[in-house]
Amino acid sequence: MKLLRFILAVSLPLMARGQVVFTRDIAPLIHSRCAGCHHDGGDAPFPLLTAADAQKRVRQIVEVTAAGDMPPWLPMGTDGQFANERRLSAAEKELLRQWLADGAPEGDPSLLPPMPEFSHEWQCGAPDLIVEMPTPFLIPADGPAIYRNFVIPLPHGAPQYVTAVEVRPSSRAVHHAFVRAEKASATMVADAADAAPGYAGMASFGPGALPAADAFALPSVQREAYRRLLPEGRKSPPEMLPGTAGALGAWVPGFKVPPLPADTAHRLPEGSHLVLSLRMVPIGKPQHERTRIGLHFARQPPAREIIPVPLNTFRIVLPAGSRAEEARAKFVTPVPLSVLSLWPHAHQLATMLEVIAHVPGAEPRRILDIREWDFDQQQPYTFREPQQFPAGTRFELCVRYNNSSTNPANPTVPARTVRFGESLRDEMALVILQTTLPNPTDRPSLNLALAASRDRMFSGLLTGLLEGPPSPPP
């Protein structure tokens, strides 16, 4: 009975509408959800603006939308609505399917809505500062995806407060990009040690760089690698402390730079540099990639700074063949917080990711709900309006994994035991909450809570969290 009601709810409006046509029914949908990438000069390889464009690919459009592959959008409905949402409803998918069934007619040209306009200039206007990769990186014509990080110096005396960051790849071979600011020297050392531009690996885009350690080394060797980074009396590396680094910007095809609330900005630590993390996929011919980054600066110190609050854990142990192991992390805020956006990250074994806010005296709020995680579609999600949470709110992250041969995304077959790490063959569980403080005088209390949270993570790692080496790669 429920299925019948659903079918009727989707089908009756179409029956009342009559034949589905492009100009009246399909164009508004494609213009609003697809054309941001699918236009001449856009990030997608072909346009979909006209009836002729869409008719040539109508069967493909129906297939990829029905499968949920396009438009790329992972979250399900949440308590807080995200900006620039691209997810199609069941009724919208059925509309596309019915257009195909009706023969994909064009319809009355007078019903065609105005063509959307696209600018290939900087989204936020001319940046105050444009920086770029110091040296182009050669992407071969074919081969596997490439994960690489590029250290980009900032000019001495650059302003400290950033209101917008826009990433501009130079070729379609770039699949996605993340930018962070940090003072850690480890990235510079890694860059200098690699003969090619940048250095290899899937670096975390969270606040601060994790120390490098061989994921397959003995636990004692791993612990010693972490210890060497810790000054006397510290439990976590100084570059992981609050306010010293943070996620600044991102790019995926069609990404729109989310505006920050008025009088709000990121703070660049004095003497910091940018780290650009790229995933690049060969496209059949060599490409010389030289991504540019445009930064906009506040004219004066803002009333509120962006404070990254990580939900992160090193407690990831996924036995070979396991299908439903989970990793969890939590953070209890001692002060009221405004959450502007969420930056989720996991690797290819992850299948589900959610963040639940347990508000004192209220029902839990699921603020991020990704039922089918897809590593290739990860991106930040910005709320339409900042979400307010009182002191005592407990934010909980849960990531579920499938480390068996039934997971088509598993990078190793046969499966092996997988633990925390930043290579593609390891796993992570991380969500960065980009937050501000309604009361800026609460900053010391929040800093203490963040430092304690990070100390607990590193303390667990140093005292044998990764007991027993994972199985070596085949």
373 neighbors 74 (Cβ within 8 angstroms): yes
Interatomic CA distance for residues 25 and 14, integer angstroms: 10
**Can you give the pLDDT at residue 60?**
94
Top CATH class of 121-207+242-303 equals: mainly beta
- CA distances in angstroms from 361 to 107, 330, 333, 392, listed in the order given: 55, 18, 15, 10
pLDDT 10s per residue in the chain (474 long)?
444 444 444 444 444 457 999 999 999 999 988 888 898 877 788 888 899 999 999 999 999 998 888 888 889 876 558 988 888 888 999 999 999 999 999 999 999 999 888 777 888 899 999 999 999 999 999 998 898 999 999 998 888 899 999 999 999 899 889 998 887 666 787 788 888 999 887 655 433 344 444 444 445 555 565 566 555 565 655 555 444 446 889 998 878 888 899 999 998 878 889 999 999 999 999 999 999 999 999 989 999 999 999 998 888 889 999 999 999 999 999 999 999 999 999 999 999 999 999 999 999 999 999 999 998 888 899 999 999 999 999 999 999 999 999 999 998 888 788 888 777 788 889 999 999 999 999 999 998 898 888 877 776 565 544 444 444 444
Q: Does the 306-474 domain belong in CATH 3.40.630.30? A: no
Phi, psi torsion values for 231, nearest 5 degrees: -65, 160
Closest CA to 59 of 107, 10, 103, 108: 103
In DSSP notation, 137-187 reads: EEEPSSSS-EEEEEEE---TT--SEEEEEEEE-SSTTEEEEEEEEE--SHH
Interatomic CA distance for residues 461 and 20, integer angstroms: 58
pTM, whole model, 2 decimals?
A: 0.82
Phi, psi torsion values for 167, nearest 5 degrees: -105, 130
Q: Which two tokens stand for residue 317?
A: 């142990």
- CA distances in angstroms from 189 to 185, 204, 227, 403, listed in the order given: 6, 17, 18, 33
Same fold, 121-207+242-303 and 306-474: yes
What are the residue boundaries of the structural domains of the chain, listed by start? 2-111, 121-207+242-303, 306-474
Bridge partners of 296, per DSSP, are 164
